[in-house]
Each structure stands twice: as structure tokens, then as C-alpha cells.
Amino acid sequence: MVILCGSYFFYMSWRPEFGLLLFGTTLVDWYLALVMARQQTPLRKKLVLALAVAANISVLFFFKYFDFATSSLWSLFGYSDPLVLNILLPIGISFYTFQSIAYMVDVYRKDLQPERNFFRYATFVSFFPHLVAGPILRPANILPQIRQHKEWSAENLKIGLFYIATGLIKKVVIADRLGVFVDQVYLQPELYSGATLLAATYLFAFQIYCDFSGYTDIAIGSARILGYTIPDNFRQPYFSQSLTEFWRRWHISLSSWLRDYLYIPLGGNRKGTVRTYANLLITMFLGGLWHGAAWTFVIWGLLHGLYLAAERFIAKLAGADAGARSKSYWAAALRVLVAFNLVSFAWIFFRADSLDDALYIIKSIFGHFGTLYSPTIPLTSLALYGILILVLLAFDYWQGHERAAEKFAALKWYWRWPLAYAAIFGLIFFAAQSGAQFIYFQF
């Protein structure tokens, strides 16, 4: 009850009325899950499930996609004055909607018994560490933890604080500093050469990774201090050797959700080659649309769908697995480089303010490359950005081989305290002067 009340206070401190929306959708889902579990026939179960999914999607559509849909339709039919309500998007609605749908589907499949205690279910939906920007928690993972009695643990405190510290460093030292460069260039791309636009695109790849994985680290650490374990949402994504592997390592909670609740129910790879490619495109199209109501996100999703389909096609011709890793060092390095560049190219559409801007940036990179020099951006800044990225990659590589948080917690106090103070002073002296909100708050 303390966590539940605290979560609602945390959420409603921004806009109190959206706390009522969260409570209302939570109550409806909790009740419909109980109703569905009591149905005796498959048809009735499906009807209740369809009602629950439709209710969740309708709320999400109204707040997130209504203006986009009406504007697109008006433009399609040649109207210049579309019906736009300028609806304020509730923070975290995409995350808790997908989480609620997963709960309903798991109850329908009998993978999970419905939670009869409303307050426990409400705590699952509103759990504050992940509420506003994920990760998307699976009910089978977090609901049993909510039912357990929690004991104070100094070990959890040490591990949790380590996650929070690394998350803050990723966000305010790396992501926000990179964001100064990226935002300036992408705000008016016509002022910069293709070389500068390419540099900004590569820096954005690391900005969004540090920004989002930094938030996830803070969420994991906050939950761990309270005795809850949230799965990792990122596992060295930029060391991936293929796009298939990238989506196994990037935003894992979303990619696994799309796989289990969309791609596989559509038929997955079980209904022929053409259907498999179509399912990949549909899944990634909806994954792109989930990120935002704009054609740039749709194209970003479709582009990744094409990547995955092409990769699967090439792997099939070679008689290999699309996500297999090469054992040769040089082949692996080349594949990592190719995958990173393909991902970075797609990030252009994700970051650009409009489709026209995205196309202009691509045209400049490939047609008007020019020089990296820009009078408004000191070249010395690039050296600092390069150092920050190298430190990040080194830490990421090391953390993937050794559980850094557990190793930190196991250190003697005379090693642990100096490292903690170093992190604190690092945040004070090296954080970007102008902080920015987390990128995924807008989704």
C-alpha cells in the first residue's frame, strides 16, 4: 500500500487528472480479467479479451494518435484545416497500456491466474520506477514479487545505488552533453554540411542509448533498493553482429513484447516465407508507430522491418541463422560495424523533426558531404564526445562480461566509498549545464 500510494503521488504530481485515467483503466482491466477467468466457453473468453484489448487501445489511440490520424486523413483528401484537438499525452501511457494488455492475454492463455487483490494489481500497473518510461514489466515477473514479504537488504541497497549512479552518469554526463550538439544540428539541418549531419547522427545513436538505458538503470536500481528485481532492458546493443541480434539486445522489454503478443500470434515464421516477411513488416511498423504519432516513426519501424526481412532472406540463402554470431574476430568486427551503421541510418528518421528534414539530411550526407567544420560548434567538443563514447563502450563491454553491480557490492568499504564519492563528484563537475528530459518520456 505504501508503494501504491507513493506511485500515484509520484504520477499525479505532474498532472493529477491523469492519475484518475490510470486508476480507471486499471480498475477496468482488473475486473475484466476476473470476468474472463470465470467464462466457461472459449468464445466468451475471447469476447472479454477483445473487449479489454479494445478498451486499452481506444484510450491509447485517443490520447496519442487521434490528432495524427485526423491530420493524415484530412491531408489525404486535400483539406487544409484538419480537426486537431491538441490533446496532452499522459506520460507513460504507451508503457502501462502494453503492460495491461500483456496481463489480459496471459490470463486468457492461462499462463497466469488473475490477481484477485485489486491493490496488488494496481501496484503492478503503477509501480513508480518503471511507470513513466518503462521497461514494460511482465506480470509473471513482477506480480509474484508484489505478493512476497520484503526484508531490508544492505546488498540490495549497494546494488541499487550502483545502478542509479551509472544511470545518472549515462544521462547527465553523456546523453545530455551529446544532446547539445545533436539538438543544435537537427534543429536546422540546412545550416550544416553532410559531414556535420553525419557526426550528429552517430552522436544521436549514443545519446539515445545513454538516455534510455540510463533511465532503465535508475528504474532497476530504485526497484532493487525496495527488494524488487526488474530485468535488464539493454545488453550491449551496439556490439550486435546483426539486426536480429540488435533487437534481442535493444529495448528488450518492447521487442520481446512485440514478439510474444504480436509477431507470434500473427503466425511468426510458421506460415511460409512470404507470410514471415509480412509479419516482420507489420510487427516493426506497429513498433515504430508505438514510439510516436508521426510518419518518421512509421518509416523508422518499416526500415527495421525491411532490415530483418532482408537479413533473414540472406541467411536462408546461406543456410545460416539470421542472428548467429561469427567466431572470427575480423568478421565479427566487420559485422558489428555494418549493423551499427544500418541502425544509425534508421536513427535519422527517429530523430528528425519531420520527414522533409530526414530526407534532406540523407541527401546532404550522400550528396553534399562537405567538411566537419561548423562556426557554431567547436571542434574541441568532438574530442570530448569521442572520449565519453569510448569510456561508455569500454564500460558496456566490461559490464557484459562481469556483473559490475555485484562486483561493486562485494568490494570492501575502503574501495567502495571512494568509488561512490568519485561518482558523486563526477556528476557535479561533468554533468551538462542544461539538463534535458528523458527522450522516452514523450512515448
DSSP of 116-179, one letter per residue? --HHHHHHHHH-HHHHTT-----HHHHHHHHHSPP---HHHHHHHHHHHHHHHIIIIIIIHHHH
Q: How far apart are CA 56 and CA 138, in angstroms?
A: 17
Could you say which of 130, 149, 251, 291 is catalytic?
291
- pTM exceeding 0.85: yes
291 is catalytic: yes
Q: Please give the average per-residue pLDDT across 31-48, as a whole number.
A: 92
Judged by DSSP in three states, 240 sits in: coil
Question: pLDDT tens for residues 93-146?
Answer: 999 999 999 999 999 999 999 999 999 999 999 999 988 887 998 999 999 999
CA 126 – CA 252 distance, rounded (Å): 20
Residue 432 has pLDDT above 80, yes or no: no
In order, the DSSP letters of 354-376 are SHHHHHHHHHHHHH----S-BTT
**By three-state DSSP, how is residue 230 classified?**
coil
Whether 13 has a pLDDT exceeding 80, the answer reads: yes
The 3-class SS string of 10-68 reads HHHCCCHHHHHHHHHHHHHHHHHHHHHHHCCCHHHHHHHHHHHHHHHHHHHHHHHHHHH
- The model's pLDDT over 400-415, given as tens digits with 9 standing for 90+, comes to 655 777 788 888 888 8
Cα separation, 247 vs 308, in Å, equals: 9
369-372, long-range: CB within 8 Å, 24+ apart, which pairs?
A: 369/193, 369/194, 369/195, 369/198, 370/193, 370/194, 370/195, 370/196, 371/193, 371/195, 372/193, 372/195, 372/196, 372/199
Question: What are the boundaries of each domain within the chain?
Answer: 2-147, 155-241+325-442
- What is the gyration radius of the CA atoms in the chain, in angstroms? 23
240-278 pLDDT per residue, tens: 999 999 999 999 999 999 999 999 998 888 888 888 899
Average confidence score pLDDT of the chain: 88
